[in-house]
Amino acid sequence: MENVTDYVDSTFDYSGIPEFCDKVNNHQFRLWFMSPFFSITSFTGLVGNLLVIFTFIYFNRLKTMTDVYLLNLAFADLFFALSLPLWAVGSMAEWTLGLAACKIMHTVYKVTTYSSMFLLCFISVDRYFAVAKAVSAHRLRSQAVLFSKASSIAVWVLSLIVSTPEMKYTKVINNSCSPFSSYSDPLRLDLQTSQLVLAFVLPLLVMSFCYSRIVRTLCQTHNFERNKAVKVILVVVVVFVVCQAPYNAVLFWTTVVVAKGGTEDCAYENNLLYVTDITQCVAFLRCTFNPFVYAFIGVKFRHDLLKLMKKLGCLSQERFVNYTYNRKSSSALDTDTTTTF
């Protein structure tokens, strides 16, 4: 019987041939952790954002710019939460849903990511004018809602435009759904750079400027509600940074690695995949956190939500009265221009 080694050329130099990088452990991690995580996040995101949408529509609360932006933010997070089951499938070993579902998954992700970040910028700008520039904001109050609706449409259109590459380049390669043909695909550099700038750096700069000015203005007042408003602002900023900063830091580093031509270190590449997956999961929590941070934290919104729950039979009249009575003083101070605070 002939030996297999007889057919191996011992004089051939195999050092120039790249070795196959085994990602079995990473695939197992995605299967056992990310699939359940996406499913749970999808459910909580759907519940939270549907409550926001129903409450806004039922009580006709679109009376300020922030109300309009919050409703659009809830729709963006709702659409993203609806797409998370696709991400759960994508975290498995093989993509089995076809090209159309693959394109939908990545396109919805990018459109809702960009729209959410742009809307958060508009919310911070509106809060800045309502608090730091109260006189100017009151003068333009009659035109504010119309402007917010027009700017919301512009946000969705712009988000669709900047998401065009995902619609075009996303494909199924080697039973995997991705816009990139490989880890070191040059297209990855352009897409990740644009996402870093438009979906993190720009919103962070706008929010930092607006909320720092708001805090400075509030600290110059003597209203006893000032400390509560400052705490709310800090919660808004902290949640944004905690959810978005880790993933975008990893995204920045992987962009640098791709710009340098990728890596041939299999262990290093696998570690980057683990860190990217974990931080991405944290970033995806935005569809769950946004309703609580930007809507439920408002006194008027909580009161409307309780009334809705009472009408639906989820809350007794006694509990409703007790809850609203204990917050009567703070509710009286919540005006149409302080939805978030």
Please classify residue 203 by burial: count the beta carbons closer than 10 Å to its beta carbon, then call 0-12 exposed, 13-18 middle and 19+ buried.
buried
**Could you tell me if residue 266 is inside a domain?**
yes
**Could you tell me if residue 232 is inside a domain?**
yes
**Could you tell me if residue 147 is inside a domain?**
yes
Q: Is the dihedral of CA 334, 241, 199, 94 positive or negative?
A: negative
CATH of residue 150's domain is: 1.20.1070.10
pLDDT at 139: 65
pLDDT tens-place string over residues 300-341: 777 777 787 777 777 777 776 766 665 554 443 343 434 444
Token duo for residue 131: 């608090």
**Could you tell me if residue 142 is inside a domain?**
yes
Q: In this prediction, what percent of the chain has a pLDDT beyond 90?
A: 38
The residue behind tokens 């009161």 is 303
Count H helices, E strands: the chain?
A: 15, 2
pLDDT at 116: 95
The parent domain of residue 245 ranges over 22-306
Q: How far is CA 233 from CA 4, 237, 297, 298, 330, in A?
A: 70, 6, 11, 12, 17
What's phi and psi for 173, nearest 5 deg? Answer: -125, 125
Tell me what the mean pLDDT of segment 183-199 comes to.
84
Tell me what the mean pLDDT of segment 291-305 comes to.
78
How many Å apart are CA 55 and CA 161, to the nearest integer? 31
**Could you tell me if residue 341 is inside a domain?**
no
How many Å apart are CA 165 and CA 163, to the nearest integer? 6
How many Å apart are CA 132 and CA 136, to the nearest integer? 9
Which of 122, 128, 337 shows the shortest CA–CA distance to 217? 128
Contact indicator for 45, 288 with CB cutoff of 8 Å: yes
Mean pLDDT of the chain: 81
pLDDT tens-place string over residues 223-241: 656 666 777 778 888 899 9
How many Å apart are CA 13 and CA 91, to the nearest integer? 37
Which of the 8 DSSP states describes residue 9? Answer: -
Token duo for residue 295: 């809507």
**Could you tell me if residue 334 is inside a domain?**
no
How many Å apart are CA 217 and CA 303, to the nearest integer? 27
pLDDT at 155: 97
**Could you tell me if residue 58 is inside a domain?**
yes
How many Å apart are CA 180 and CA 170, to the nearest integer? 7
How does residue 140 score in pLDDT terms, banded at 50, 70 and 90? low
**Could you tell me if residue 314 is inside a domain?**
no
How many Å apart are CA 240 and CA 247, to the nearest integer? 12
pLDDT at 283: 95
How many Å apart are CA 206 and CA 215, to the nearest integer? 14
Tell me what the mean pLDDT of segment 206-234 comes to.
79
Could you give the number of structural domains in the chain? 1
pLDDT at 76: 96
Q: State the alpha helices, DSSP H only, in 260-298.
A: 266-284, 286-291
Q: For the residues of 92-129, what is the DSSP string, one character each?
A: SSS--SHHHHHHHHHHHHHHHHHHHHHHHHHHHHHHHH
Strands (DSSP E) contained in the chain are 171-173, 176-178
Contact indicator for 200, 255 with CB cutoff of 8 Å: no
Token duo for residue 269: 């590449």
pLDDT tens-place string over residues 82-119: 999 999 988 876 888 899 999 999 999 999 999 999 99
Query: Coil, helix or strand for 179?
Result: coil
The residue behind tokens 């203005």 is 217
Q: In this prediction, what percent of the chain has a pLDDT beyond 70?
A: 82
Q: How many CB atoms lie within 10 A of CB 51?
A: 18
Tell me what the mean pLDDT of segment 2-24 comes to.
53
Tell me what the mean pLDDT of segment 129-145 comes to.
73
